[in-house]
Structure formats: structure tokens, C-alpha cells
Amino acid sequence: MAASEFDLIRDYFTGLGSRREDVLLGVGDDAALLQPPEGQAVALCVDTMVAGVHFPGDAPAASVGHKALAVNLSDLAAMGAEPAWATLSLTLPDADERWIASFTHGFGDLARYHNVALVGGDLSRGPLSVSVQAAGFVPRGRALRRRRARPGDAVFVSGTLGDAALGLALWQEQRATLDADSAWLIARLHQPTPRVSLGRELRGCATAAIDLSDGLAQDLGHILQGSGVGAVVDVDRLPVSEPARHYAVARRCLEAAAAGGDDYELCFTVPRTRLHRLDAIASRTGVRLTRIGTIEPGQGLRLVHGDGTPAGLQVPGYRHFTS
Ligand SMILES: [Mg+2]
């Protein structure tokens, strides 16, 4: 790839995403030059997606481009940050220009939608893997953290849960003909929607927030640990989509909603005194918000049914390096 690396960067990556005035120098030099706004903290995150580990190796290239950026924008959303810049490190088995064109299409569409400029990157040859680093701004002292949930706070999630886990099962079945419900679930897996505007709206409202990459049980667990509290979640309230209900039996839907990864919805906690704000936030952002439980003293997550009996779900969250 060495001979054509510079051509590929010129043809496909220079100027990808939005044009922004705070980019003093973008793709093409040894480093980008960027001008963060006064009074704002820079939120910075990075995420690597490896084919066969984080996404199916046969996923459409446009979806890989979309998702590689989306998972980072989701992290920024969980901090209440406004996305601005991204860098991309792409490792490819070969310089397949059709694949690259499609990848940059998926990446570029999402970047422009969220006013993100690609400001630098790197191309190399090897097993397919994509690293994206994203930066955004959040007014100093206003970022959403994981550590301020308090007993009595309500626990909310956005959107619907478990779709991506069911979408992955469908993708692995390799069905030749897909009905509309299956296609929707697979799109939830391949093209997650980062809840950027919701994250921004939750500043000054939520006491803690996280995005759901590894599944509700595990990710809410990070809030509980960070805040030194426990929580009770009513599994009968977990928002499950209609396509999920059509595809899987109720129990499988519940397990996917409680522990399935890759949904990239937000989970957050809100004190009683601010609950009245949520209807307006839901309508301004157009995102469904569901109260699923309550923070309580102690530690750990209790999954129960509406009548208080234990849910008895097998909900291991996804972990690397453990069996
Ligand atoms: Mg995250």
C-alpha cells in the first residue's frame, strides 16, 4: 500500500466530513492544528474496531465507516460534549478502492451530519481494523460523568435495547431474504445512532450518564461503581422494539435488552426534582426516554420483575480478555 497511500489519502480522506473554522490545518501535514473555543473543555476519546471481534468481517464498508465514527460520537454524547474533530487510523488487507470509497461515504455522511471534520489519519496494510479518535467540546464543569448518581435518582435509557444483539444473530444466520423487521435490527447493529443531541440536553439534568456499548447490566454497573451506589431495574420496563418482539420470544428479547451490546443508547440518572424536564427533552430530541429503575443505597444491580420478584436472567456483559 505504501506506493499509493498518499494518493488514497488525497482522493478519499482529505476534506472528509464538515469544514470547520476551528480547523487551522487539517489532513496533509505532520499534524493538524486546531483551535478549541474559550471556556470549553476538550472531550477526547478513541475506539478501535477489529474485524471479527467488534464487527463482522463481511459487514458493508459504508456501515463500518459509519459505525467507527458513531461509537466515538456516542462516547462524546455520554459526556454531554459537542463533537468537532476526528482522526482515523485504517488498517486494510489491500488497497481495495471500492471498499475505501464506500467506507468514506459512510464515515463522511455521519461526520457531516454532526458537523465533524476529519483532521488527520493514517493508512496501513494488515488485518482489517479501524481506529477513530474523536474530540468535542463541553462547557467547563458541565460534563456528564459516571460518579454522581445518588439514591432515589431515577434510571433512564434512551431508545430501545437489545436490537443490535438480535441484529447480530440475524446477520450470522446469513439469511438470503430479509424482511423489514430483520433489516431494521441489522441496521441497528451496523449503523447505530449516537445520541448526541440528547447528551447535550442532559447537561445540568442528569447526575450520571454512560453510553451502552457492552450491554445495560455491565454499563449501568460502571455508573453504580463510579457513584458508590446500587440500583434496582424493572426488566418489564426495558424498552424493546416491535421488530425485536417479532423476531424473538419475550425472554430472549429481555436478555438482549438487559445484556446485549452495541446498542449505543444512553443510560442516565435523574434526581426526582428534575424529572419534570424529561418530557420536553424527549420531544426536543425526538428520542424515546424510558424510566427503568431507581438508584438505591448499597452496591450492585438488582434485576427484578414489576412485582419485585428477581428476574433470574443470565446477563453477563461483554468483556475482553475473560472467558
Ligand atoms: Mg462509552
Measured in angstroms, how far is the CA atom of residue 75 from the centroid of ligand 1? 5
Q: Tell me, what DSSP letter sits at residue 17?
A: B
CA–CA separation, 263 and 272 (whole Å): 27
Give the tens place of pLDDT for each residue, 146-176: 999 999 999 999 999 999 999 999 998 876 6
Give the model's confidence band at 113: pLDDT under 50 very low, under 70 low, under 90 confident, else very high.
very high
Q: Nearest CA to 219 among 233, 205, 201? A: 233
Q: Burial level of 302, CB count in 10 A (0-12/13-18/19+)?
A: middle
Give the tens place of pLDDT for each residue, 262-298: 999 999 999 999 999 999 999 999 999 999 999 999 9
Measured in angstroms, how far is the CA atom of residue 266 from the centroid of ligand 1? 9
Give the model's confidence band at 322: pLDDT under 50 very low, under 70 low, under 90 confident, else very high.
very low
Measured in angstroms, how far is the CA atom of residue 5 from the centroid of ligand 1? 31
Instruction: Read off the pLDDT of each residue in 110-118 and give the average, rounded to a whole number.
Output: 98
**237 C-beta neighbours (distance < 10 Å), count:** 16
Measured in angstroms, how far is the CA atom of residue 95 from the centroid of ligand 1? 31
Domain 2-139: top CATH class: alpha beta
Give the model's confidence band at 316: pLDDT under 50 very low, under 70 low, under 90 confident, else very high.
low
Residue ranges per domain, the chain?
2-139, 154-304
Measured in angstroms, how far is the CA atom of residue 79 from the centroid of ligand 1? 9
Q: Domain 154-304 in CATH: superfamily?
A: PurM-like C-terminal domain (3.90.650.10)
* pTM passes above 0.85: yes
Beta strands 230-234; 300-304: pairing state:
parallel
Cβ proximity of 32 and 23 under 8 Å: yes
Residue list, CB under 5 A from ion ligand 1: 75, 211
